[in-house]
Structure 1
């Protein structure tokens, strides 16, 4: 599995660094300064707060040296944490539930997204006569990676229509140019992916949207409640051993979330890497307008979020159905509350 590795600090875009002295620091010196973070599809808006914290040197301001490894999808990033090559994952909250079902205790400690931002769409080329989700039976659905949040969302939509994952073929296509190429070339019949990929395909007239979770209203329609999305999560053992490091990570992420609430389009464009723009700055800003509401304004987990995530997984995942999940052990707002008391944009 190919991955890209990014180092914060001197490698970050110099012009994007916030001028002046840092506004937030951990409550105590980080137990470990070097932190490895795994992410699956770093260029997606789903993970934008992570990129902002990196590019604007917020991690460095907290006394951290963060190494970010970018995988094809969230399920691959999760494997890196379970395997020990990553300390923290920037990924989907529902993975903490899937891990607990396998007796592996991981906990979310700062939320990046309050809506999944995932769009399920069909190809106008290979499915011009699409009428309903049941038409996807026997078809190929592109996802960032099998087992990722994109395949979880697609599986849930299928389950509501009476289908299972076995009725389709999930194909890993990544989160960028590969996903776009797979759809345009007819290699897949449908795609569950995120912006800016989906906005690019939509504007090109390549797809027909079936299910959309880019806004809070659409998310509640699909999932029946608030559905937490991207977050930072780590093993409970890491959090217990490194509370100051965890607080420092949270401070940086909350600061990034606050910055995004007021950032102009030009500020955003000048902060993210050029590769994120897919060669079209106007399209990137159009996609940003679609998903901005989905960003958490403060990093707090909504009260009903974990239960919504659990209900979603129980709809189609046999492992979760048969497990006794203690939701209280999958998330915490404690670090975010401390960050909000001190962090300013």
Structure 2
């Protein structure tokens, strides 16, 4: 079977749940504008990569906006899209694939980004440093490990293989979970390569596993998305999304200014995120390195005064990436995927004051 057909079928399977009856879904926690709000993240556990969200909780940034936010951890962006589309969550930091797939003929998903979160591409492909694999072409007949087969990292790797002319059925993708499971898969030789995300790679490096990056064709200019919501909810209650966005932006600004304080707050509020078997200093250092790997892809630095802008060119590149590989069959207007009208209000806070509060911790 041709590789392009396999990639199309994988995409169709991943998006099957997105063909949803959206009538009578306008209420619920997500779209009512009430103080109790749910947001989703595609991660199985709390970890250093999402420490900025723990800061928004711990520093009371959500509370300052009058919000009681329930952070729901999910297995994939597809699950996130389902939860937002059905009104079970107001928003989620979600990768673009299901958002774009939801605009294909026969789908009735209408999610729109109102803010960037993962500004740059957090997904990638790496191999052990001493591997003889030097390009995706060398993955033919090899085994690639991922957190789960529903991960966007698998989608990107498969599309990259397609772009390079490597048949999808010549590469075996396997789920290897998180943390120690990933390390064991590499050290035992169970996998030849890893399709993971920035923070997972850093965790492995912290464990002394030397890795080398393999370029995924077409992936360099992609975005990993941001905060998305139903278009109807954004129109009906923009103030809710301004409040959510502002609280999340403050957490990112704080974490960038003082990663150590952000990790300490994460470990205090979500102790399950703390690495086991390490003393306090080592656990802190490990968490900081993972958070810094994520911050490098969030589009934040010491001088940022407008956080959350999403580059339309990156969304266009994402659409073209999926279109070229046959993952989607119809063009999607990238501009329709993003509404930047709330960015000014989201950033209506004193960024320097947040940075100073971080440094004073």
Provide the TM-score with structure 1 as the length reference. Answer: 0.77
Structure 2 match to 1:276: 273
Q: Which residue of 1 aligns with 2:123?
A: 118
2:218 matches 1:242: no
Which residue does 1:14 correspond to in 2? none
- Classify the secondary structure of the residue corresponding to 1:129: coil
CA deviation after TM superposition for structure 1 residue 313, in Å: 1.7
User: Is the contact made by 1:92 and 1:229 (CA closer than 8 Å) also made in structure 2?
Assistant: yes
Q: Distance in 1 between matches of 2:336 and 2:209?
A: 42
Shift of 1:243: 1.6
Alignment of structure 1 residues 152-163 onto 2, 5 Å: 152-163=155-166
Counterpart check, 1:310 vs 2:313:
no
Partner of 2:36: 34
1:130 aligns with 2:133: yes
Deviation by residue 1:187-237 (Cα, 9 ceiling, x = unmatched): 433212224321232344545323379xxxxxxx96353x32241111212
User: Shift of residue 143 of structure 1?
Assistant: 2.1
- What does residue 76 of structure 2 align with? 73
CA RMSD of aligned residues (A): 2.8
1:288 and 2:291 aligned: yes
2:336 paired with 1:329: yes
Going from structure 1 to structure 2, the CA distance change for 1:40 and 1:185 (only over 3 Å counts) comes to farther
1:109 aligns with 2:103: no
CA 1:223–1:83 in structure 2 vs 1: closer, same or farther (change >3 Å)? same
Alignment partner of 1:304: what SS? helix
State yes or no: 1:253 paired with 2:248: yes
- CA shift in 2, pair 1:292/1:84, >3 Å: closer
Q: The residue matched to 1:51 in structure 2 has which SS? A: helix
The offset of 1:108, in angstroms, is 0.8
Partners in 1 of 2:223 and 2:55 — Cα distance?
20
| Distance apart, 1:339 and its partner CA | 1.6
Contact 2:49 2:199 (C-alpha < 8 Å) held by counterparts:
no
User: Which of 142, 145, 149 does residue 142 from structure 1 map onto?
Assistant: 145
Contact 1:143/1:173, CA 8 A, preserved across alignment: yes
Q: Which residue of 2 aligns with 1:217?
A: none
- Distance of aligned partners of 1:339 and 1:86 in 2 relative to their CA distance in 1, 3 Å threshold: closer
The unaligned stretches of length 5 or more in structure 2 are 1-31, 277-282, 301-306, 355-361
Q: Is the 8 A contact 2:134 2:214 kept in 1?
A: no
Q: Are 1:43 and 1:176, in contact at CA under 8 Å, matched by a contact in 2?
A: no
How many residue pairs match? The answer is: 303
Q: Closer, same or farther in 2 for the Cα pair 1:99/1:56, shift >3 Å?
A: farther
Structure 1 residues 46-95: Cα deviation after superposition (integer angstroms, max 9, x where no partner) = 54433332332211211111111112333333333345433322221343
Q: Does the aligned pair in 1 maintain the 2:121–2:220 contact within 8 Å? A: no
Q: Give 1:45 deviation, angstroms.
A: 5.6
| Contact 1:45 1:195 (C-alpha < 8 Å) held by counterparts | no
1:181-196 map, 5 Å: 181-196=184-199
Task: Answer yes or no: is 1:300 the counterpart of 2:309.
Answer: yes
CA contact (8 A) 2:47 2:274 kept: no
Tell me if the contact between 1:33 and 1:64 (Cα under 8 Å) persists in the aligned partners: yes
TM-score (norm 2): 0.73
